[in-house]
Structure 1
């Protein structure tokens, strides 16, 4: 089974995508299953993980509705308000849905880099462990030390680092990111998504530009903790779905057949229990 571990659907008219630029020809338009289906078929993708793009429970319920009627959507990574402990009841309700996998607070957009370490939000991480739900880590290289502190505080939490934590490839930044990722791989149980990096390149999409980052993630985490994702439709800021899928296959060409099967399906199936 081939799995896209990270994609989005959205409807801007819903009004809760505060990060979305207005009138952007690529982003600020509706995307639904019919828009993605041809690309999935062309790439031979069997299932996907649908990930939140708005910080509202309403959007999570909207995505679960899509998942209910879309066989290719294996499950949903949603959102709850970590700053409201009464939302534990909401999390427990969502957890009863067979296609609800876990949550993703939009940490990259928060002004306080230490937000995730505040005592007031620890209830949510404890609830994820108790409910056996997943945590998608959305951040930048500057968050690496905070994620390390969080994940060592909650070692039983099933966590995955979205988009390789967005290395700033356009700036040639590597060493600090690489050291931090190696530490996360070595000292936590986190998985990592091989996704979202082509939009960090400022248009430089040559394999040689991306290879050091991909090789480092594969070396440090091993194929058993790396899962490929498209980050569609955000990836369209740099290229189309099939372009990134083909490039990822080239960048993983040195792996054996079993390891490739892990990166392009098996790891996501294990982590999200698909």
Structure 2
């Protein structure tokens, strides 16, 4: 089973996407399963993981409602207010839906880079563990220290770093060392996985396979194929690429791997990580 481990659906008219403004051009419109269907069909993708794009319970429930009527959605990664006293109850409620697979608190947008290291998150994490749910970490290199603390505190929690921790591709070698060292540190923790996604969005326009090769090689080197999963980051990807191009480029960049390793990255790892049936 080929799985796209990271994509989004949204309707700006719902009103809970603070970051999604008309200034983002073609992203400022509805993106729904019918828009994605021909792309995943062409790529041979059978299931996708839909990831939250708004910090609201309402959006999470909206995505679960979409998933109930869309067989291609293998799971939903939603949002809950993890520090709220009601967080365990919210998690228990959402977990009653078999397509609810985990949470993502959008760490990159929080004003406190150390938020994830807060010990007060323990009650929410215990609820995630009790319901066999995962945790998506949307981070930059500046969040590595805090995420390392969090992951070490909860070694049983399945954690995945979204978009390879967003390396500074468009800046060339500027920032490479901090990012490369940081993601290598995270990879030393066995409960942390990584998504091979979002790299095109971090590159300058006109990127090529050669542009992304050093970043893909480093991520593969530190995590290995057993803890990597491919994702499109569609439709954000459309700002600097397209679905089939990214799918093709990733296949080329991973061509030296065995068939089994590629099968793992393009589906088996995500299926196991998110408990996709």
TM range (shorter): over 0.9
Q: Which of 218, 235, 238 is the equivalent residue of 2:237? A: 235
- Matched residue of 1:85: which SS? coil
State which drifts further: 172-181 or 147-156.
Answer: 172-181
State which drifts further: 38-47 or 167-176.
Answer: 167-176
Cα distance between partner residues in 1 of 2:142 and 2:26:
28
State which drifts further: 80-89 or 149-158.
Answer: 80-89
Q: Deviations over 1:148-186 (max 9, x none)?
A: 111001100011000001011111232221111111111
Taking the TM superposition and a 5 Å limit, the aligned residue runs for 1:81-96 are 81-96=81-96
Kindly state the Cα deviation for residue 124 of structure 1 after the two structures are TM-superposed: 1.5
Taking the TM superposition and a 5 Å limit, the aligned residue runs for 1:126-165 are 126-165=126-165
1:29 aligns with 2:24: no
- 2:74 aligns to what? 74
Q: Which of 213, 216, 221 is the equivalent residue of 2:215? A: 213
Kindly state the Cα deviation for residue 122 of structure 1 after the two structures are TM-superposed: 2.8
- Consecutive unaligned residues of structure 2, counting only runs of 5 or more, are none
Cα distance between partner residues in 2 of 1:246 and 1:34:
22
- 2:187 aligns to what? 185
Q: Is 2:10–2:31's contact at 8 Å kept on the other side of the alignment? A: yes
- 2:266 aligns to what? 264
Cα distance between partner residues in 2 of 1:171 and 1:74:
35
User: How many aligned residue pairs are there?
Assistant: 274
Q: Is 1:160–1:193's contact at 8 Å kept on the other side of the alignment? A: yes
Kindly state the Cα deviation for residue 204 of structure 1 after the two structures are TM-superposed: 4.2
Taking the TM superposition and a 5 Å limit, the aligned residue runs for 1:234-253 are 234-253=236-255
Change (3 A) 1:219 1:66: same
- 1:5 aligns to what? 5
Q: CA RMSD in A?
A: 1.1
Cα distance between partner residues in 1 of 2:119 and 2:265:
35
Q: Is 2:134–2:158's contact at 8 Å kept on the other side of the alignment? A: yes
Q: Deviations over 1:245-272 (max 9, x none)?
A: 1111111111110000001011101111
- Consecutive unaligned residues of structure 1, counting only runs of 5 or more, are none
- Matched residue of 2:156: which SS? coil
Q: Is 2:230–2:267's contact at 8 Å kept on the other side of the alignment? A: yes
**Structure 1 residue runs of 4 or more that deviate by more than 3 Å after TM superposition:** none
